[in-house]
Amino acid sequence: METNNDNLLTISDLTIAYHSKNARLLALDKTTVEIKKNSFVAIVGESGCGKSTLALAIIGLLAIPPAKVETGSIEYKSVNLTALRENDRRQYRGTEIAMIFQEPLTSLNPVYKVGDQIAEAIVVREQRKGGEIDPETQVMQKVYKVNAPEIPSRIPRIRRSGLARLLREETLDALKRVRIADPEQVIDRYPFELSGGMRQRVMIAMALAQKPALLIADEPTTALDVTTQAQVLKLMKVLMDEVNTSILLISHDLAVASQVADRVIVMYAGDIVEDAGVYDMFSEPMHPYSKGLLSCIPSGSKDKARLKPIPGSVPNLAEEQIGCKYVSRCPSAMNICSGKKPRLIEVKPNHKVACFLYGE
């Protein structure tokens, strides 16, 4: 694959498996993806298809003893992240690649105020820049050493004086950016005092406050009710235009993806099966699985047709699979499908499929 400088993230041939006492579970099978700058990409697939593994691998939060990166690389701004040692890898977390998670209710530390947690993130960012923050208050003195990679062990209490004030203002800005109505109130609240939707906004604010180039959102709306879901999604779309951050949305819900993403990648059992712009994906889905997913979406039309679920179930990832993994459920399966694994090929401009129906 050509790596050009347009790409923010290039994943090549990434194979990740989970090893337990007796089994090896193949989560990602030679995955290859590119994410460009300032794009909104959605990775869609059902549970266990490897999308979360991919997300965690990118940010480097995979639990490495059971998981193992067997082959491949993750190149971010021309740096191979998988080859880095943990301490260097960590430098990319938060300020270059940020991530928000599925369960907003438990993803914030219950004993610290929301504002303090956001401030902590901001401090990380400033530390990494070797930020020229003028140490005025005692607290700041302990916290900041110019050019030192030290991260403070105390969240600086947000007070009225000097640096603390700057920090407070930036935290308020972060909250305003995610359209929180009364940031002055929210900043001093504890997580349990906020609703699920609010907490997710706080998570987004916290992630964006570190000004990452890539924000990975792992099922950010799954735990929210439909109305809040729509609000958060709309927010993310708006933010995409306002900040210079690419968003990688992980979801099992194709409908959700369609509302916000520019580009949709469909995954199945550790493989990427289709990769296309959102309009192409919906007007001309090519892979039988994508077609199946689309027909699962209940449409608001008056047509009282039955929902068409995809028959069969996901193959056992612990077993070696020869050939296309979708073959057992595919209505258009051919002989060649069980013998060889289809490669991901660009059938139309910016529309890739891995299916023998469209060539080898």
Separation of CA 33 from chain center: 13
Q: Which is nearer to other proteins, 65 or 311 (CB)?
A: 65
Contact partners, residue 114, CB within 8 Å, separation at least 6: 108, 186, 187, 188, 189, 190, 191, 194, 202
Among 36, 93, 142, 329, the residue binding other proteins under the rule CB under 8 A is 93
**What are the tokens at 29?**
């099978």
Among 120, 126, 219, 274, the residue binding other proteins under the rule CB under 8 A is 120
Among 24, 173, 190, 358, the residue binding other proteins under the rule CB under 8 A is 190
Binding flag, residue 65, other proteins (CB under 8 A): no
Binding flag, residue 47, other proteins (CB under 8 A): no
SS3 97: strand
| Least distance CB 186 / other proteins (angstroms) | 14
Q: Which is nearer to other proteins, 37 or 93 (CB)?
A: 93
Binding flag, residue 236, other proteins (CB under 8 A): no
Largest CA distance in the chain: 73
Question: What DSSP assignment string belongs to 213-252?
Answer: SEEEEESTTTTS-HHHHHHHHHHHHHHHHHSS-EEEEEES
Kindly report the backbone phi and psi dihedral angles of residue 147, in degrees, each rounded to the nearest multiple of 5, phi listed first. 65, 5
Half-sphere exposure of 252 (CA within 13 A, CB side): 10
Stretch that binds other proteins, among 42-50, 64-72, 95-103, 328-336 (CB under 8 A): 95-103
Q: Which is nearer to other proteins, 111 or 305 (CB)?
A: 111
First to last CA, the chain: 17
Binding flag, residue 148, other proteins (CB under 8 A): no
| Least distance CB 68 / other proteins (angstroms) | 19
Site string for other proteins, 197-216 (x = CB under 8 A): ------x--xx--x------
Stretch that binds other proteins, among 87-95, 292-300, 307-315, 329-337 (CB under 8 A): 87-95
Among 38, 61, 69, 329, the residue binding other proteins under the rule CB under 8 A is 61
DSSP single-letter state for residue 16: E
| Least distance CB 141 / other proteins (angstroms) | 18
| Least distance CB 24 / other proteins (angstroms) | 19
| Least distance CB 194 / other proteins (angstroms) | 12
Task: Let me know if 328 is exposed, middle or buried by CB neighbors in 10 A (0-12, 13-18, 19+).
Answer: middle
Q: Which is nearer to other proteins, 202 or 286 (CB)?
A: 202
Site residue total, other proteins (CB under 8 A): 34
Distance CA 265, CA 256 (A): 13
Distance CA 171, CA 169 (A): 5
Q: What angle do CA 252, 313, 26 make, to 5 degrees?
A: 75
Judged by the rule CB under 8 A, the positions of this chain that interact with other proteins are 59, 61, 90-95, 98-99, 101, 103, 106-111, 120-121, 124, 128, 151-155, 190, 192-193, 203, 206-207, 210
